[in-house]
């Protein structure tokens, strides 16, 4: 996707994200733009890998030419042009990330924090660490995304993918309250927060039937968590 | 007296992934090792804490490690790949930053001594079978064709997890080969299934899981074996939605390595939780004479 041209201020800007990254020993300035991070990212372009996986999908054959998805031209075509996206990819995700991982790194380096903080990318990152693993300069790109998410929360920036932010919030609330995550409670909290009551309702029946769902919370970690959180609050509030 | 190691199951293994917990306990008991849970352990913060607060993300695993150290344990088995990575990351990050280490010490009440080795049960079992537990095998898995799926968090980032080869790990393959299975060479063994986006952006998970299932099937897998309950849940429970969206019916059973070890050790299949999967693995296991 084309990115609007942006103005860059002259001189070095010590932005908050650069400061936070420095504290976490992540140096984005080592990036020499090889793009391995973006090409390895499973969600950067959700259609890119179809050239690989389509060799297995039994799509219908072309009536005239008899060519199927296994044929070379088709395999080469998908993944190279975004307008060849198969219908099976959900509308909202056809483009995957709006900024690729390398563009996030560029944005942070150039002091264009807001561009990164307002991207879909930081919420779509699964934290799989493929980018960080393949980076020849040892930059933990997934961690950059996490740190940007922490900043977005701090600054009250409206998340581009609100469901992901809702998950984080409800997960933390659940964990802090029960001590151990009460999964069924978490699912219900999320439904209330996002109003997506029908999401995955097709899974509820089979999962209950198979006895996969624990109906009751486990309070064995309740006291440890309570003590932990009171010390945590003090440590957080303390100097440094 | 049986040998004992500390065991941190994590939240999921007490609810949606009960069969993983039960099969692991059964296997270790059979091999004469007791798994001891630290009393009062708490959630390690996966999948969200590291995207919400860095100190919290480091301190939660450290608190649990402290509980384990207080038990006098030298080693902890962590079957949940997400917990495994959070624990390893906490220790790694504290070594990188004195400041963080100090803050964590404030939060957990003392400086964590770093005396506990964090290991995944698949590593532990692979070693045990390489060192003699092999003679306890009662049933050969009969060349059943398995795709070993490692996912992200066991293998990456390698400098943190220190687990096998990060692009082509072999630990689970070696373990299952010793039990008589045939493990396959395939491309998606460390690809991401979408992890916790399952609850927030399930479309992503459906797409990524479908790619993994498609490659496993193309390579001739009769089942996928996982070492992570989130991978198992995504690959198993999403197959119905994948069938609808992509018009591809995989019907590929997704098993835990511990369930297969249990079968090979001759454990009662009823104790290994084969009833809990949405894609029924029993017809396949019957075909290989592993179930009656």
Residue B130 in any domain: the answer is no
Helix (H) or strand (E) holding B185: none
Residue B39 has pLDDT above 70, yes or no: yes
Residue A51 has pLDDT above 50, yes or no: no
Domain boundary among B84, B119, B154: B119
pLDDT for A2: 60
Residue B292 in any domain: the answer is no
Check whether residue B157 and residue B101 sit in a common domain. Answer: no
Sheet holding B182-183, edge to edge: B182-183, B145-149, B223-226, B254-256
Residue B86 has pLDDT above 70, yes or no: yes
Check whether residue B93 and residue B143 sit in a common domain. Answer: no
Cross-chain CB nearest to B156 (options A128, A175, A224): A128
Test A211 with B276 for CB contact under 8 angstroms: yes
pLDDT for B169: 97
Residue B69 in any domain: the answer is yes
Q: Which residue has the higher pLDDT, B198 or A3?
A: B198
pLDDT band at B74 (very low <50, low <70, confident <90, very high): very high
pLDDT for A26: 92
Check whether residue B183 and residue B220 sit in a common domain. Answer: yes
Model confidence pLDDT, tens digit, residues B111-141: 999 999 999 999 999 999 999 888 899 999 9
pLDDT for A83: 40
d(CA B80, CA B69): 19
Sequential DSSP letters for A5-43: -----SS----HHHHHHHHTT--GGG-----HHHHH-TT
Asked if A234 contacts A193 with a C-beta cutoff of 8 angstroms, the reply is no
Check whether residue B89 and residue B177 sit in a common domain. Answer: no
pLDDT for A117: 96
Residue B7 in any domain: the answer is yes
Check whether residue B114 and residue B149 sit in a common domain. Answer: no
Check whether residue B82 and residue B192 sit in a common domain. Answer: no
Cross-chain CB nearest to A150 (options B16, B43, B51): B51
What value of ipTM does the predicted structure carry? 0.93
Asked if A96 contacts B201 with a C-beta cutoff of 8 angstroms, the reply is no
Block residue for tokens 């860059």: A8
Contacts of A129 in chain B (CB under 8 A): 152-153, 156-157
Q: What is the number of structural domains in chain B?
A: 2
The CA radius of gyration of chain A, in Å to the nearest whole number, is 22
Range of the domain at B64: 3-119
Model confidence pLDDT, tens digit, residues B209-254: 999 999 999 999 999 999 999 999 999 999 999 999 889 999 999 9
Check whether residue B145 and residue B279 sit in a common domain. Answer: yes
Q: Give me A135's structure tokens.
A: 């980076």
Comparing CA positions, the residue from B120, B132, B131 lying closest to residue B5 is B120
d(CA A127, CA A129): 5
Asked if B14 contacts A218 with a C-beta cutoff of 8 angstroms, the reply is yes
Residue B34 in any domain: the answer is yes
Check whether residue B68 and residue B165 sit in a common domain. Answer: no
d(CA B231, CA B189): 11
Test B41 with A221 for CB contact under 8 angstroms: yes
Helices A16-23, A141-155: crossing angle, 10 deg rounding: 130
B-interface mutation test, from A70, A129, A238, most B Cβ less than 10 A away: A129
Domain boundary among B119, B150, B172: B119
pLDDT band at A239 (very low <50, low <70, confident <90, very high): low
Residue B163 in any domain: the answer is yes
pLDDT for A172: 96
- Give residue limits of the domains in chain A: 16-44+97-155, 50-93, 162-237
Check whether residue B144 and residue B107 sit in a common domain. Answer: no
For Cα atoms A105, A109, A115, give the angle at the middle one, nearest 5 degrees.
70
Residue A74 has pLDDT above 50, yes or no: no
State the CATH number of the domain containing residue B192: 3.40.50.11810
Q: Does A239 touch chain B (CB under 8 A)?
A: no
Q: pLDDT averaged over chain A? A: 81
Asked if B60 contacts B44 with a C-beta cutoff of 8 angstroms, the reply is yes
Distance from CA of B71 to the nearest CA of A (A): 15
Residue B108 in any domain: the answer is yes
Strands B145-149 and B223-226: parallel
Domain boundary among B67, B87, B119: B119
Distance from CA of B212 to the nearest CA of A (A): 8
State the CATH number of the domain containing residue B87: 1.20.1050.140
Average pLDDT over every residue of B257-262? 97
Residue B65 in any domain: the answer is yes
Check whether residue B280 and residue B168 sit in a common domain. Answer: yes
pLDDT for A146: 96
- The DSSP 8-state label assigned to residue A78 in this structure reads B
Check whether residue B207 and residue B102 sit in a common domain. Answer: no
Please report, in angstroms and rounded to a whole number, the separation of the first and last CA atoms in chain B.
34
Model confidence pLDDT, tens digit, residues A77-135: 333 333 444 555 555 455 578 888 999 999 999 888 999 999 999 999 999 999 999 99
Check whether residue B104 and residue B241 sit in a common domain. Answer: no
Q: What percent of chain A has pLDDT over 70?
A: 77
Average pLDDT over every residue of A157-161? 94
Cross-chain CB nearest to A90 (options B63, B158, B203): B203
Model confidence pLDDT, tens digit, residues B5-32: 999 999 999 989 999 999 999 999 999 9
pLDDT band at B95 (very low <50, low <70, confident <90, very high): very high
Asked if B269 contacts B258 with a C-beta cutoff of 8 angstroms, the reply is no
Average pLDDT over every residue of B88-104? 94
Q: Which residues pair with B225 in a beta bridge?
A: B148, B255
């Amino acid at each position: 996707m084309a990115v609007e041209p942006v103005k860059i201020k002259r001189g070095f800007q010590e932005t908050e994200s650069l400061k936070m990254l420095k504290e976490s020993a992540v140096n984005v300035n080592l990036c020499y733009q090889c793009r391995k991070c973006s090409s390895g990212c499973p969600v950067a372009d959700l259609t890119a890998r179809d050239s690989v996986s389509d060799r297995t999908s039994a799509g219908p054959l072309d009536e005239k030419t008899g060519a199927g998805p296994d044929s070379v031209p088709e395999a080469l075509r998908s993944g190279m042009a975004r307008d060849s996206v198969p219908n099976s990819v959900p509308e909202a995700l056809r483009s995957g990330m709006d900024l690729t991982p390398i563009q996030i790194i560029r944005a942070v380096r150039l002091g264009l924090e807001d561009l990164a903080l307002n991207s879909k990318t930081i919420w779509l990152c699964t934290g799989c660490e493929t980018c960080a693993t393949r980076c020849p300069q040892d930059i933990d790109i997934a961690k950059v995304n996490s740190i940007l998410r922490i900043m977005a929360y701090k600054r009250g920036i409206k998340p581009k993918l609100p469901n992901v932010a809702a998950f984080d919030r409800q997960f933390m609330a659940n964990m802090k309250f029960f001590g151990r995550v009460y999964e069924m409670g978490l699912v219900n909290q999320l439904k209330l927060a996002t109003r997506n009551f029908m999401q995955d309702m097709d899974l509820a029946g089979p999962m209950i039937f198979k006895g996969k769902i624990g109906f009751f919370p486990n309070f064995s970690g309740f006291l440890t968590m309570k003590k932990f959180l009171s010390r945590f609050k003090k440590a957080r509030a303390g100097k440094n | 007296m049986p040998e004992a190691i500390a065991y941190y199951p994590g939240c999921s293994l007490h609810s949606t992934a009960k069969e993983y917990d039960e099969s692991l306990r059964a296997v270790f008991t059979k091999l004469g090792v007791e798994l001891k849970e630290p009393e009062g352990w708490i959630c390690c913060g996966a999948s969200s804490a590291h995207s919400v607060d860095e100190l919290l993300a480091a301190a939660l695993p450290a608190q649990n490690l402290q509980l384990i150290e207080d038990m006098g344990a030298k080693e902890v088995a962590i079957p949940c790949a997400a917990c495994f990575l959070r624990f390893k990351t906490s220790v790694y990050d504290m070594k990188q930053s004195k400041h963080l280490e100090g803050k964590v010490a404030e939060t957990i009440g003392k400086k964590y001594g770093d005396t506990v080795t964090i290991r995944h049960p698949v590593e532990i079992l692979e070693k045990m079978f390489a060192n003699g537990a092999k003679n306890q095998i009662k049933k050969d898995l009969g060349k059943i064709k398995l795709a070993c799926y490692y996912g992200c968090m066991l293998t990456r980032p390698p400098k943190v997890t220190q687990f096998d080869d990060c692009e082509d790990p072999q630990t689970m393959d070696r373990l299952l080969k010793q039990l008589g299975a045939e493990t396959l060479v395939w491309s998606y063994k460390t690809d991401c299934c979408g992890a916790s986006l399952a609850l927030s952006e399930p479309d992503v998970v459906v797409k990524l899981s479908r790619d993994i299932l498609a490659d496993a099937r193309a390579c001739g897998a009769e089942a996928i074996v996982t070492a992570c309950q989130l991978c198992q849940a995504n690959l198993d429970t999403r197959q119905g939605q994948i069938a609808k969206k992509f018009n591809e019916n995989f019907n590929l059973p997704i098993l835990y390595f511990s369930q297969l070890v249990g079968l090979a050790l001759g454990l009662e299949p009823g104790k290994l939780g084969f009833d809990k999967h949405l894609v029924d693995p029993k017809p396949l296991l019957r075909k290989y004479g592993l179930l009656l």
